[in-house]
């Protein structure tokens, strides 16, 4: 029976908590007295509590994030009713800042702010020795990474077979983008690269093939990046998949020289453009050479097989809907595989809070703390952009409408897709749970009634996409003639658009 349980709630089963594994790997002599328990958001709180109490733990540590804080609060409240003697320790980005007004903080016994790799074992030693430290809040400074044990042996065979393997070659970020908690870091710190690659070799030999690097700035140190890419290039096989976050305006010739050697499906870059507006960039302390970023994205799209996932944020201080639309159009012209449109969230502790009064930033008081209005965007405009983001994910990013997408976007992508988004919502009143055949019909009707696409051209493109979709439910817009006949009479004229990388998963 473990004395210590490390627990969290993940969004999907495919996610595995790197943070908890780091804590477990650094427990030292206590590791044999500890166990890892991962649950899923949406599970019944009472069932989770039952599972946690079954092993009679003395300490339970929770990893708390924006997506699970509300459910963990309910779980801890139940635990305190049933077993108030168990020491509840919380940590993670959601509770490391502005914690005084959080119900979870008041329910828990201890809070570790910052990285808990070394602070959590020290606390557990005292708790298991019968000591209750008087200070509820333990402020943990970033530890020297040479003292941090790597956690990768703690991915078990089931993890390797069925889940993404989250890894980190470095921590921290030298940039100051105010919407991000990494703006609080002083710099980036690398792990010992030889030790890291040794751990990667062991994972690979055990069968791991899906590696998601959580480093904020993978291409900051070119030498390290090249060594990591070279390590995996030597081990290329058809199942290998690598995900990296890249700085958009830094792509050295040395990195360019190796990227074309990776085949389709093996590399994915998540690149945060966030905004192209120079005034907004300056306002949020984001240093970005837009021309260099565009040139790099263009080069990656033309000369490599890298799957490009580009982030764009709506609702930043100082940015109105027209400015956001211009940025979206610039990205569409660069033809990335995915444009992830996200609405700004005010993460606890992020410096973006300094603009709250000056730009009349209004936020949802509950997770995920999304912006709901600014001095540049009324509530209704933010709602429109939120629906735009959802429909864009269903249609523009999904890869299901590769032939149809160019007809949808035309010469004014943002304006046209916003019009389609408004029409779909006015017609259906919903943004979720739209069956695929219904979505095809909605796209057809919107194209022909709102966007002025000829019916025959619209059906020809949709027929090609339907053939590739694998769905059996024939949309009504294609039911009056066989799909085969429509395709043969109306061959697609446009190059298929980018297709979503199936192995891209985010938490």
Class of domain 4-143: alpha beta
* Rounded (10°) CA dihedral 441, 442, 443, 448: 90
**C-alpha dist (Å) from residue 146 to 143, 190, 191, 213:** 8, 9, 7, 19
CA distances from 67 to 44, 300, 369, 468 (A): 15, 32, 11, 34
Nearest CA to 332 among 440, 436, 454, 415?
A: 415
Contact of 94 with 64, CB cutoff 8 Å: yes
pTM, two decimal places: 0.93
Beta bridge partners of 5: 35, 60
Q: Is 155-377 assigned to CATH 3.80.30.20?
A: yes
- Sole residue written with tokens 């499906």: 265
Question: HSE on the CB side for 5, CA within 13 Å?
Answer: 21
What are the boundaries of each domain within the chain?
4-143, 155-377, 399-507
Strand residues in 58-113 grouped as ranges (E): 59-63, 87-91, 110-113
3-state secondary structure of 443: helix
Question: Which structure tokens are listed for 280?
Answer: 């907004």
Tell me the CA distances in angstroms from 434 to 14, 195, 278, 439, one per residue in order: 24, 48, 38, 6
110-140 burial, b if ≥16 CB within 10 A, otherwise e? bbbbbbbbbbbbebbeebeeeeeeeeeebeb
For every one of its 507 residues, what pLDDT tens digit does the chain have, with 9 covering 90 and above? 899 999 999 999 999 999 999 999 999 999 999 999 999 999 999 999 999 999 999 999 999 999 999 999 999 999 999 999 999 999 999 999 999 999 999 999 999 999 999 999 999 999 999 999 999 999 999 999 999 999 999 999 999 999 999 999 999 999 999 999 998 988 899 999 999 999 999 999 999 999 999 998 889 899 999 999 999 999 999 999 999 999 999 999 999 999 999 999 999 999 999 999 999 999 999 999 999 999 999 999 999 999 999 999 999 999 999 999 999 999 999 999 999 999 999 999 999 999 999 999 999 999 999 999 999 999 999 999 999 999 999 999 999 999 999 999 999 999 999 999 999 999 999 999 999 999 999 999 999 999 999 999 999 999 999 988 877 888 999 987 555 455 545 444 444 444 445 444 445
């Amino acid at each position: 029976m473990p004395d210590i349980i490390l627990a969290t709630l993940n969004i999907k089963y495919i996610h595995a908590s790197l943070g908890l594994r780091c804590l477990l790997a650094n427990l030292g002599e206590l590791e044999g007295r500890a166990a890892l328990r991962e649950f899923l958001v949406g599970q019944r709180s009472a069932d989770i509590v039952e599972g946690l109490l079954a092993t009679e733990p003395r300490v339970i540590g929770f990893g708390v994030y924006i997506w699970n804080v509300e459910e963990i609060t309910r779980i801890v409240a139940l635990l305190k009713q049933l077993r108030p003697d168990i020491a509840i320790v919380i940590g993670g980005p959601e509770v490391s800042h502005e914690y005084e007004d959080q119900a979870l903080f008041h329910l828990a016994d201890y809070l570790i702010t910052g990285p808990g790799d070394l602070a959590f074992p020290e606390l557990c030693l005292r708790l298991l020795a019968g000591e209750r430290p008087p200070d509820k809040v333990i402020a943990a400074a970033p530890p020297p990474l040479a003292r941090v044990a790597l956690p990768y042996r703690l991915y078990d065979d089931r993890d390797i077979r069925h889940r993404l393997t989250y890894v980190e070659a470095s921590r921290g970020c030298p940039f100051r983008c105010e919407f991000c908690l990494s703006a609080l870091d002083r710099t980036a710190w690398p792990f010992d690269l030889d030790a890291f690659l040794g751990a990667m070799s062991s994972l690979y030999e055990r069968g791991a093939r899906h590696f998601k690097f959580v480093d904020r700035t993978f291409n900051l140190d070119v030498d390290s990046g090249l060594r990591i890419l070279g390590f995996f290039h030597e081990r290329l096989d058809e199942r290998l998949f690598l995900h990296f976050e890249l700085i958009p305006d830094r792509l050295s010739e040395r990195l360019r020289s190796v990227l074309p050697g990776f085949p389709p499906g093996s590399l994915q870059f998540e690149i945060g453009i966030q905004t192209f507006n120079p005034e907004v960039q300056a306002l949020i302390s984001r240093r970005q050479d837009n021309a260099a970023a565009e040139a790099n994205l263009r080069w990656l799209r033309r000369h490599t097989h890298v799957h490009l996932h580009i982030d764009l944020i709506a609702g930043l201080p100082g940015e109105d809907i027209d400015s956001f639309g211009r940025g979206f159009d610039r990205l569409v012209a660069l033809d990335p595989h995915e444009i992830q449109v996200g609405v700004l969230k005010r993460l606890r502790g992020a410096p973006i809070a300094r603009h709250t009064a000056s730009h009349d930033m209004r936020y949802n008081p509950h997770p995920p703390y999304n912006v709901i209005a600014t001095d540049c965007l009324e509530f209704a405009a933010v709602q429109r952009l939120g629906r735009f983001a959802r429909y864009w994910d269903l249609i523009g990013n999904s890869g299901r409408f590769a032939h149809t997408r160019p007809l949808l976007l035309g010469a004014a992508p943002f304006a046209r897709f916003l019009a389609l988004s408004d029409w779909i919502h006015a017609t259906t009143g919903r943004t979720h749970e739209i069956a695929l055949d219904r979505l095809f019909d909605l796209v057809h009707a919107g194209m022909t009634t709102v966007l002025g696409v000829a019916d025959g051209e619209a059906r020809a493109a949709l027929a090609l996409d339907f053939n590739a979709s694998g769905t059996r439910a024939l949309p009504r817009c294609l039911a009056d003639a066989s799909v085969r006949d429509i395709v043969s009479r109306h061959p697609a004229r446009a190059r298929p658009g980018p297709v979503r990388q199936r192995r891209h998963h985010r938490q």
